[in-house]
A and B are shown apart, each in its own frame.
Chain A
Amino acid sequence: MGRVIAIASGKGGTGKTTVTANLGIALAKLGQKVLLIDADVAMANLSLILGMQSSPITLHDVLLGEAQVHDAVYDGPEGVRFIPSGLSLDNYKRVDSERLTSVVSQLTDQYDFILLDVAAGIEKNVLSALSSSQETIMVTMPTSPAIADALKTKIVAQRLGSKVIGVIINFVMNEKGEITKNDIANMLELPIYGSVPYDPEVRKSFMQEKVAPVIVRKPDCPAAQEITKIASRITGLKTSDAPSAKKVGFLEKFFSFFKIKGAK
């Protein structure tokens, strides 16, 4: 039986879809069999982040009972597999998201990890995704509105029987006013899996002829490296057991911090 983990945040814009895509690929690189499911049936965009927007059969079709779940599974980057949600608003209004639990249960024995990309908010499709998972990881930002929404989502997940196992802090810029990792751990009463730094390379990954997650396009950038460490922590591997990224020298780090072009 694989682990079914919901990646949730409550607040929109915390980067949970980006984290889900990159974390899934990082887990696959560690040798895990990974399935990503775009459980955001209303605002699906995991397929865009993976660069796999043309998928004829989607989760919508499966939830509508018009397709078998195995027909909606696609091969993604680095061996990861993927079930997209459809972009159609008509189908979104017709789908019964409560069927997600039975869809997920058909797949758990085939994967080591099933990651569900959960929508923002605490509406019905969010509840469906949370109750389909055994575990939940919160993605938040080091700001009070994001943490407030993460708190509410944690309470909802627990009510639905999903164990909230940890937090990923995203968009960390190390400004004085940011809420620190320790404060977030205390406020949410959860362990911190990692702090993903704000990294322009993540944004640039959407601005390519062929879109690919940053962990594929720039595996040595700070955000990709931190996500690789988070994947190791989730699997229980020591960070040193994970495939090491290229060593980055002091000058390279220094120049990349100040974004000075031609520093290499």
Chain B
Amino acid sequence: MSKSLFDRINERSLSRRSFIKWSSAVTAPVIIGGIASETKIVDKVNAAGTVKASNEQILSTCSTINCGGRCLIRAHINDGVITRLSTDIKEDTFELPQLRACIRGRGYRQFVYNPDRLKYPMKRVGKRGEGKFERISWEEAIEYIAKELTRLTDKHGPASRYSNYSTGHSGSIIGAGNMIQKIFALTGGYLGYHNSYSSAQTSTATPYTYGTTQTGNTLNTLSDSKLIILWGHNPVETRWGVTDYYVKKAKETGVKVVVIDPRQSNTAVGLADEWIPILPTTDNAMMDAMQYVIISEKLYDKNFIDKYCVGFDEENMPEGVPQGESLVGYILGDKDGVAKTPEWAEKICKVPAETIRKLAREYATNKPSALLQGWGPQRQAFGEQFVRGGTVLAAITGNVGIRGGWASGSGYISLVKTTSVPKGTNPLGNLTIPCFLWTDAIVRGTEMGEKDGVKGLPEGQETLPSNIKAIFNLAGNALINQHSDCNKTAEILRNENLAELIVVSEIFMTPSAKFADILLPSNTFMERWDIGTTWAPSQHAILSQKCIENMYESKSDYEWLTMLAKKLGIEKEFTEGKSELDWVKWSIEESRKKDPHFPTFEEFKKQGIYQVSLENNAVIAFEKQIKDPENNKFETPSGKIEIFSKALWDMNNPEEIPAIPKYVASWEGPEDPLTKKYPLQLIGWHYKRRCHSTFDNNKWLEEAGPQVMWMNERDAKQRKIKDGERVRVYNDRGEVQMPVKITNRIIPGTVAIPQGAWWSPDDKGIDQRGNINTLTSQRPSPLAKGNPQHTNLVEVRKA
């Protein structure tokens, strides 16, 4: 029943009387005087009264997060505020395609103006990892870091100091990780790292075939191919420079595109004529069988092999290797009695023998053809074999060094080169660990030597001089989220007797940030100067202009590291008198010395971008070596393409590191007896809605791509799991609970969780967000000591 008007008026006057009564009882000066000193609303300085006319400024910039696209962003700025973003608007041509933003780039405004940004320096007050922090000043933070760093260096030596792998400043000239290494170098040295979490296996293995990782062509040449095979390559989501654009252009001219992937990725849906589903970790079984078809049907390029390769058959083997070790010997089963036929492979990889046969014939007989490897399949237990297998397929079909072909392997190409800020020389020499083994180096560093991939140990020293004691994790989420086995990592980090100092700089409260002792608020790329380049086929650089001032109390890493350098008495040596903007200008001038077309600072500012037209600038890897082999040797020990690598042979570990690429049945692969307990293979993928773990907290992007696990209908039916239900995904390393998407876009026997979700363990340690690394292993690959992210066995049940 509604109240009568009279009642309501009566109530109102009562309230008013109470209100006045309260007011007159309040002792006036306290409350009234209370705010005078803190007033933030003040008389307007230019007291014109009304608003000034709109005066929009547009600045071009780019992100320096580890994104495969590196699009051009135009920030529309009004009154010091980014009010909207637009992207590349120049004419879109084949030689100079637009560098338009995808959904990630369009979400940058929410990234910069997200209310959840870290705003003030924080110091841990609870147990490490618990997430309890207290606000402190920058001066207090710097004081603490300097004191602890000095103490730990005195006690454990400079090799106890480590800058953890992080890619929040990626393709950038002023990386935070490099800059803290510069401070370390100026104060005694540090333990460095080699490899990356992206490409350890391919960067290590590719040179065993070709002597270099520079095996890519400019992407315009894809249109000259007759067939493009994208093996575990998903450029529609990762962008990969502008690979998606050029594959599309090639397809438009009639080039056939085949995608091999356990998932029917967006690339498979959008660009492929054929999708070939395959079980994870078994790529080399299929590659072996393709080679079988090519060899047994004599489809290989004999002239090319004779002229440029070693190790194909027994006739062109290096000296000192016994009979039966050549590629042909292995493929035909001379020694092990197993011919690597398509039927043999089908049982392992689940690709029908006829499909393998057909693809092998198509690839070998349609020259030129391009086999492009993504980096996903090399992030497996024996990822080196995948890399070498691809390069050998390219070599025996003569697809290397010719326009429209592709050498396969890592695929780097540097058409545009930028110059990084030098980080000086490490007084400890080139002492490095594989970046994936840093948790090992915390626990058992002093036991780690060459067999763990440690490089640069001084003469007479077998192992590292110290365990890692001080970790600087600047602009990265590999302190836990992007490293393998979150539960194990967390246990190591929680132990305050192991790593004694963890400094993290971040933009948000990420899972890694939770493990900081000192947590520093970083600004974003919109608030600082830098230069950005893109992933592998580097065809452009963008000036990452500062568009707005630092928000809250955030600083760039360079700004606060300068404060730290000052505290340590090395400011001059650290900055060399330069601000970030000065370094950008310096870098441009250095780049111009090598490339006169590199724009001046003023030109760069005006154009925003340095993009090389591909017209007349096509790069084809190994073109010189093929055209003029007398004067251009491959950079391998033999000077040829090494199908058989004597260097690998000499490692004397033929089961795990064979001298020719082979299918190695993987631990936690489909042939592992552990499948009885955990019958499903688990892989991840780079999701369009995130850049690694960046943007996981962006609500718009979550709408565009919710965090779900893909599972095949058959596997779901067996487990009575319905689409959209929450499921438990688990193995001995941990458990994840998340929603499932039932789909035929994934091969039966395999489930897939998009990588990069923020690890969110509940009080039982069960991740509630869907972080794949709750389930991944810290066991490294044999040769590169790389991360095996896509090698996991799990079971799935209804939650």
Q: Does chain A bind chain B?
A: no
Q: Give the B-binding residues of A (Cβ under 8 A).
A: none
